[in-house]
Amino acid sequence: MEELKEEVRVYLDGSGIGRQVGVAVVLFRNREEIRELRKQIGPEDQHTIFEGEVVGMLLAAELIRAEGYVDMEVIGINSHSQVAIWVTGSTRGSSGQHLLTKLHDHMALAQCRCGEVAIVLRWIPGHEGVHENERADEEAKRAAGGDSSPTCLLPKACRGDILISRSAACQGHL
């Protein structure tokens, strides 16, 4: 795999454990872990891993916004969910549209805070031995297990309950 060159990189992962969905993001600066955020999304019969990945992008935008000024050209948000990355370009009709709208709003806030720095969503292969990605996976499992970050650290869009996914609810009735 090609070596990523950004000074600031965020890795995210969604996980389903014990019939619960969780997500985590971990921010690295110069390969050093700086901070992470975790959120338990809710039960698998009400939420999907896809939703977790979209919430993860929202949490990643929050970490970037909180990081503040960075003197570089690019900040990378790295996910192994091709679908979640792809739907960020959609404007209507996607599963989890309410989350995508919140994501777009929060990415705009992060971009405003970072000025001319490009914030890039990038696909990376999962479970390929990339230390930073493995850290996000560990934290996502903690989140699914109920260990969310303190509410005051989460963006307002991620505080409280996430709306129930129609997709997950339909799958639960099959």
Over residues 5-62, the pLDDT tens digits come to 678 889 999 888 999 999 999 999 888 999 999 999 998 888 887 788 888 888 988 8
In a domain, 2, yes or no: no
CA distance 20 to 24: 14
Residue 1 in this model has a pLDDT that exceeds 50: no
Higher pLDDT, 86 or 67: 67
Higher pLDDT, 76 or 143: 143
Domain count, the chain: 1
E strands, 2-152, in order: 8-17, 20-29, 32-43, 74-79, 118-123
Would 1 be classed as within a structural domain?
A: no
- The answer to whether residue 3 sits within a structural domain is no
Structure confidence by residue, pLDDT tens digits, 92-149: 545 556 666 776 676 777 776 777 777 878 888 876 778 898 999 999 999 999 999 9
Note the pLDDT of residue 34. 94
Q: Compute the distance between CA of residue 140 and CA of residue 18 in angstroms, rounded to an integer.
A: 13
Residue 103, in any domain of the structure: yes
pLDDT at 37: 96
Q: Which residues pair with 36 in a beta bridge?
A: 26
Which of 46-55, 72-81, 149-158 ranks highest by mean pLDDT? Answer: 149-158
pTM for the model: 0.80
What's residue 152's pLDDT? 94
Looking up residue 96, the CATH number of its domain turns out to be 3.30.420.10
- Structural domain contains residue 81: yes
Gap between the Cα atoms of 133 and 120, Å rounded: 16
Asked whether residue 50 is assigned to any structural domain, the reply reads: yes
Is 34 a domain residue?
Answer: yes
Could you tell me the residue range of the domain that residue 54 belongs to?
Answer: 8-172
